Amino acid sequence: MVHALKEIHRTLVPEGILIDLRPMAASWAVELTSGTFQWEVGRLTDDPQAPVYDQAANKTFQEAARRGWFVRESKASFSFFYYWDTPEEMEEYIREEWSDFIQQDEALYAATQFAWANTSGVDRRLRVRVKMHLARWRKR
């Protein structure tokens, strides 16, 4: 992927900005929310390869910096939430969309169902708290 950063460098104006925005493997929390309250039901299990991909991306940027293409100006992280109205919808989404980087955890799904069944509130929802990485790089 170093070549991709070289291509981006080529198409940026002098002093142009490259923003690196991506989710990071971090055993994302499954949370139940109701009104202003939220509590953690459990955590998703990262596929063993997921942190490897993150490290590879980080190394790619380090290499681009080493080659003098970009210099990092800032780095931050924040939470990005996915919401579902029912445990079934959440489970279906995770099985269908995240199977490449999240291991299926039947105990977590069961715990989520249990927590859902024992929570009242018409506005209750489930959410996954995704850790996001945001870095700004400037073209040199």
Partner 1 sequence: MTVQKDPEGTEIRHLAGSSVFEDQNLLEIGCGEGRLTWRVAPLSGRLTGIDPQADALRVAAAECPAELRETVKFVRASALDLPFPHETFDIAILSWSF
Instruction: List phi, psi (to 5°) of 67.
Output: -80, -5
Confirm or reject binding of residue 136 to partner 1 (CB under 8 A). yes
Q: Which is nearer to partner 1, 43 or 138 (CB)?
A: 138
Element (H, E) at 50: helix 50-66
51 binds partner 1 (CB under 8 A): no
For partner 1, give the closer residue by CB, 41 or 137: 137
122 φ, ψ to 5°?
-70, -20
Nearer to partner 1, 58 or 119 (CB): 58
Least CB distance to partner 1 at residue 37 (A): 16
Binding-residue total with partner 1 (CB under 8 A): 38
C-alpha atoms less than 13 angstroms from C-alpha of 32 in its C-beta half-sphere: 20
Nearest approach, Cβ of residue 129 and partner 1 (Å): 11
Q: Contact 68/59 with Cβ under 8 angstroms?
A: no
Residues that bind partner 1 (CB under 8 A): 1, 3-4, 7-8, 10-14, 16-23, 53, 57, 60, 74, 76, 78-85, 89, 92-93, 96, 132, 134, 136
